[in-house]
Chains A and B, each alone.
Chain A
Amino acid sequence: MVRLADNTAGWGDKPGDPGYEDRLAKFEARVARGDKVEPGDWMPNDYRQQLIRLIHVHANSEICGALPEGTWIPHAPTFKRKLALCAKVQDEVGHGQLLYRAAETLGKPREEMIDELISGKAKYSNVFHYPAETWADVCVIAWLIDAAAIVNQKMMADGSYGPYGRALRRICYEEAFHLTHGYDMCISMATGTKLQREMLQDAVNRWWKPIMMFHGPADKESTHTAQLMKWKIKLKTNDEQRQEFLRKYLPKMFNLGLTVPAEWELRFDEKSRTWLYNEPDWEEFKTVVRGNGPVSSQRLETRRLSHEHGRWVREALTAAAAGKRAPLPPTAVGAAS
């Protein structure tokens, strides 16, 4: 009999402890035959830590992904686009909550993760360190970046950790609407006026580098991949995910008359059935995700302010639940900061 909230079996267990090797062998055999790992199960500490790291970054990315899009809600070109964008932003924030919860089942408190994002200690996806300069950027984010994210999330949904897989299946269901809406927006731009077509191509040109970096460093540079794949946390390498994205979406882009900037020297190799390209600068990628991207500090500042502005709501709900009189809201926006 276990308490559902008790989820740290084997926490702190390390190689050399009595019976550790047996437990590890049993765990790896289970994962290898496709069993799912649940919160109460024993798991190696590395497995736990790697999952916390991945899910935490994923959750932060959902929260930060809502920021460039949220900015554009008041500027949406039609009422329908505005409603769809509002729904998308609400979805992204909801995904963040689902993912924080999945990471929490591994023993890291949700509020601690939120604090680490605000303080700049925790990472989030490279793509959200860049500004959304025009409406076409919103279209490209909603189509191509969500497409790249779905390639990653569909794979992770089949991974070995139960709660993460369940959260991702739900997330993928909702992302399907984002992707279709994004594609619809890009089709509108691509079949619109000359100015609209130029705006869309300009957005693709600026976003192509972050998109090529989205699935993470090339396999030959990646330090975690082998272990993550052994434990079925990841089922495809970064390069395999990138190829899947290119294979699926380049034809759709070309069909809309879009091109990839020439410096990438993108070409299809018939023999290996893969797309070849000039490797991105992975040092630049690492610098950006450490919080030194073009708008990294603005992103976190926006996040920090909204956390402050929401504080009175959290306090009021906590007080009300304790049967106390709820504190009053600040009289003006900004008064809480």
Chain B
Amino acid sequence: MDSQWKIFEVFHQSARGEPHVHVGSVHAPDGDTALMLAKEQFGRRQACVNIWVVAASAIVATSYDDADMFEHATDKSYREAFGYETTKRAKLAGDAEEI
């Protein structure tokens, strides 16, 4: 084993205005080389306008074991558009006026 370089996670942007999406990772001794390798590996097909690389060691993640932290403790439907019955209520309001 003559080299075991650092791991860089690669984020690919397909067009300006689109989000950078994680597509994989490369091994490299530094960021510049990681960008070059990422361009070869992930930018040679499909549209690509920009690439980010981040040292994997710098990424802190939640644990899948703690997935329940994403559960809502109470009903939060008031935060969502579907939580309101506007069409039904407006129709009822119209009906009420006709009476």
Contact = CB atoms under 8 A, between A and B. Distances in A.
B62 interface: yes
B39 to A, nearest CB: 12
B4 interface: yes
Contact of A98 (B1, B41, B64): B41
Contact of A4 (B23, B28, B60): B60
A109 B4 contact: yes
Interface stretch (A110-118, A217-225, A258-266): A110-118
A333 interface: no
B23 A5 contact: no
A279 B1 CA distance: 41
Contacts of A5: 7, 56-57, 59
A101 interface: yes
Contacts of A41: 64
What class of interface size applies to chain A in its complex with B? 20 to 34
Interface in A107-154: 109-112, 115
B4 A4 contact: no
A40 interface: yes
Contacts, number: 76
A150 B26 CA distance: 24
Nearest to B45: A174
A322 B59 CA distance: 22
Contacts of B87: none
A110 B5 CA distance: 9
Contacts of A226: none
Interface residues of B, number: 28
Nearest to B41: A94
Contacts of B29: 317-318, 320-322
B62 A1 contact: yes
Interface in A179-226: none
Given A97-B41, A174-B45, A3 B60 contact: yes
From A5, A98, A174, residue with most partner B Cβ within 10 Å: A5
A170 interface: yes
A111 B4 contact: yes
Interface of A: 1-5, 38, 40-41, 90, 94, 97-98, 101, 104, 109-112, 115, 166-167, 170, 173-174, 311, 314-315, 317-318, 320-322
Interface of B: 1-5, 7, 9, 23-30, 33, 40-41, 44-45, 56-57, 59-64
7 contacts: A1-B60, A1-B61, A3-B60, A111-B1, A167-B24, A174-B45, A318-B3
